[in-house]
A and B are shown apart, each in its own frame.
Chain A
């Protein structure tokens, strides 16, 4: 069944890319560089990730990230652009992640040959990452490859990660969900308590309480758990996201071989404490 193949390839790929690409948001080597630029976590996060779009206003970063409270994003971006320009923070991001991944890979005995093989495997998928409606993915494309194996590997992984992220926003907005709704349903999808993660997106108690009431009113949650309709809707959003990965998945000749190449890199990131949780433990297959 093609759709099973799609899901069973797209979701494990997502989890592996998440560790390789998004470890930049936890890497001490990156944070040290942001710190020396005078940036605390929040301005550094929004400007370093949003910088792939260019030196844009916070409202545009908020639109592209999708799930964060726009007023929080705007304040963070305003603070960041008052202190640094986009070229400076993108350089810090690249150097920091290059240093982190270099340390993580060395610590797990990953060879240069292995990095080269992973780069080849991911770089051949990048041209299949569709640009339409995908702002962050396309912005990263516009930055080009940095030119060193670890930097290039990270860039390819980040492009593919943001492709799914951009697609996911399209999926939940076009299913009539707002950012707080989508995050609350994702908490239940991950089987973590309702309201436990959404605060990291900048929303306050009132925002969350209003969204929970709305989801209850729509029959999507009952108490603090999914209703069958709510679980089905959240599953549909993930299937819709998988569907938008189809061109990339179809370009993968041998998914098991790809996973075998990427898994040691992802586990090296975990071993170096480069990501707070193993995403593979939270995914629904």
Chain B
């Protein structure tokens, strides 16, 4: 039996995802990471969203994929799930021509931790308590069918307060990501379709954010036709039908449901942890470590660095 009622659990899981995002997702915008990957031969960051430095594509795919080990690009494409494999596969092959998994994974950890230390200090007040709570949450999360989460778990905790916080939050982020992939694939939705549905779900125009996933206009046209065929778009093909809105909401609920062991483990300590994460996340955003508005910032044109 759930410790926490389902509705409340879903809402807690979703708030958690929002609070974790700037602190874990900052790895993809960390100047320390960009410099670390450039030292391995990758291109430096060349574009900005506001003050935030956007990642080089091959460095992004190779560094995040490296948590699974020295895997083929096809495996990275499968695990990330939403990107066009035609872009992922050559990017990862190029990445492995420059470096190996252990080296770039170490640069990833070092760069992510360095940005957090620069913006928050090495041991911000409350970090010990946050670590205790985050580890309590990750402990019961199962690895089956969750390749990115499983890979991170195998890396272990680095052993410094900020390193451990980074690992714990990345574990929570990737577990939810793996769970989300399971939730949409389980209802027969594909990568392009979920991209379009998610744009509508978070209130973006169609064909804005999904551009970051490297699909062609033909891919987007074909996916739109499939969604129309399922009755999930309105007559103008500009927004959800009622059925489409419900289907997309159900996918998010199914994702939340998989977070249940973590949410239940947090039990009565939600407010305490969330307060700490909120203040740190705001500091990371203020410092230009993560997109000011959130992932939607990537839906707008970037500017040269």
A125 interface residue (CB < 8 Å to B): no
B57-81 toward A: CB 8 Å interface, digit per residue (1/0)?
Answer: 0000000000011111111011101
Contact residue among B78, B89, B143 (Cβ-Cβ distance under 8 Å from A135): B78
Q: When the two chains form their complex, are residues B69 and A55 in contact, meaning their CB atoms are under 8 A apart?
A: yes
Q: B47-55, B125-133, B182-190, B199-207: which lies at the A interface?
A: B182-190
Q: When the two chains form their complex, are residues B78 and A59 in contact, meaning their CB atoms are under 8 A apart?
A: no
Q: When the two chains form their complex, are residues A169 and B145 in contact, meaning their CB atoms are under 8 A apart?
A: yes
**Measured between C-beta atoms, what is the minimum distance from B82 to chain A in Å?**
8
Q: When the two chains form their complex, are residues B75 and A133 in contact, meaning their CB atoms are under 8 A apart?
A: no
Q: When the two chains form their complex, are residues B72 and A142 in contact, meaning their CB atoms are under 8 A apart?
A: yes
Given known A131-B85, A133-B185, A170-B185, contact A54–B146 (CB-CB < 8 A): no
Q: When the two chains form their complex, are residues B150 and A63 in contact, meaning their CB atoms are under 8 A apart?
A: yes
Residues on A with C-beta less than 8 A from B258 are: 173-174, 176
Contact residue among B70, B72, B153, B182 (Cβ-Cβ distance under 8 Å from A173): B182
Q: When the two chains form their complex, are residues A56 and B257 in contact, meaning their CB atoms are under 8 A apart?
A: no
A80 interface residue (CB < 8 Å to B): no
Residues on A with C-beta less than 8 A from B182 are: 133, 170, 173-174
Contact residue among B68, B73, B188, B257 (Cβ-Cβ distance under 8 Å from A176): B257
Residues on B with C-beta less than 8 A from A67 are: 144
Given known A53-B72, A55-B69, contact A178–B185 (CB-CB < 8 A): no
Cα separation A59 to B188 with both chains bound (whole Å): 27
Q: Which residue of B lies closest to A59 (CB)?
A: B154
A67-104 toward B: CB 8 Å interface, digit per residue (1/0)?
Answer: 10010000000000000000000000000000000000
Residues on A with C-beta less than 8 A from B40 are: none
Contact residue among A55, A137, A167, A171 (Cβ-Cβ distance under 8 Å from B70): A55
**Measured between C-beta atoms, what is the minimum distance from B36 to chain A in Å?**
22
Q: When the two chains form their complex, are residues B144 and A53 in contact, meaning their CB atoms are under 8 A apart?
A: no
For window 235-251 of chain A, which residues contact chain B by CB distance below 8 Å? 240, 243-244, 246
Q: Which residue of B lies closest to A241 (CB)?
A: B186
**Measured between C-beta atoms, what is the minimum distance from B247 to chain A in Å?**
13
For window 230-277 of chain B, which residues contact chain A by CB distance below 8 Å? 254, 257-258
B149 interface residue (CB < 8 Å to A): yes
The total of chain B residues at the interface (CB under 8 A) is 39
Q: When the two chains form their complex, are residues B71 and A54 in contact, meaning their CB atoms are under 8 A apart?
A: yes
Q: When the two chains form their complex, are residues A138 and B77 in contact, meaning their CB atoms are under 8 A apart?
A: yes
Q: When the two chains form their complex, are residues A133 and B151 in contact, meaning their CB atoms are under 8 A apart?
A: no
For window 116-166 of chain A, which residues contact chain B by CB distance below 8 Å? 130-135, 137-139, 141-143, 166
B142 interface residue (CB < 8 Å to A): yes
Q: Which residue of A lies closest to B183 (CB)?
A: A174
Given known A132-B191, A167-B185, A170-B185, contact A64–B147 (CB-CB < 8 A): yes
Given known A53-B72, A56-B71, A246-B188, contact A133–B150 (CB-CB < 8 A): no
B181 interface residue (CB < 8 Å to A): yes
Cα separation A81 to B96 with both chains bound (whole Å): 19
Q: When the two chains form their complex, are residues A59 and B185 in contact, meaning their CB atoms are under 8 A apart?
A: no
Residues on B with C-beta less than 8 A from A240 are: 186
Q: When the two chains form their complex, are residues B68 and A173 in contact, meaning their CB atoms are under 8 A apart?
A: no
A28 interface residue (CB < 8 Å to B): no
A211 interface residue (CB < 8 Å to B): no
Q: When the two chains form their complex, are residues A62 and B75 in contact, meaning their CB atoms are under 8 A apart?
A: no
A230 interface residue (CB < 8 Å to B): no
**Measured between C-beta atoms, what is the minimum distance from A137 to chain B in Å?**
7
Q: When the two chains form their complex, are residues A179 and B144 in contact, meaning their CB atoms are under 8 A apart?
A: yes
Q: When the two chains form their complex, are residues B150 and A62 in contact, meaning their CB atoms are under 8 A apart?
A: yes
Lowest 10 A-B CB distances belong to which pairs? A63-B150, A142-B72, A59-B154, A142-B74, A56-B69, A138-B78, A138-B74, A54-B71, A169-B145, A174-B186
- Interface residues of B, Cβ cutoff 8 Å to A: 68-75, 77-79, 81-82, 85, 89, 142-147, 149-151, 153-154, 179, 181-183, 185-188, 190-191, 254, 257-258
- Interface residues of A, Cβ cutoff 8 Å to B: 53-60, 62-64, 66-67, 70, 130-135, 137-139, 141-143, 166-167, 169-171, 173-174, 176, 178-179, 240, 243-244, 246
A–B complex contacts, Cβ < 8 Å, 28 sampled: A54-B69, A56-B151, A59-B150, A62-B143, A62-B144, A63-B147, A63-B149, A63-B150, A66-B145, A130-B190, A131-B77, A132-B78, A132-B81, A133-B182, A135-B75, A135-B147, A138-B75, A138-B85, A139-B71, A139-B75, A139-B78, A170-B181, A171-B186, A173-B142, A173-B144, A174-B183, A174-B258, A178-B142
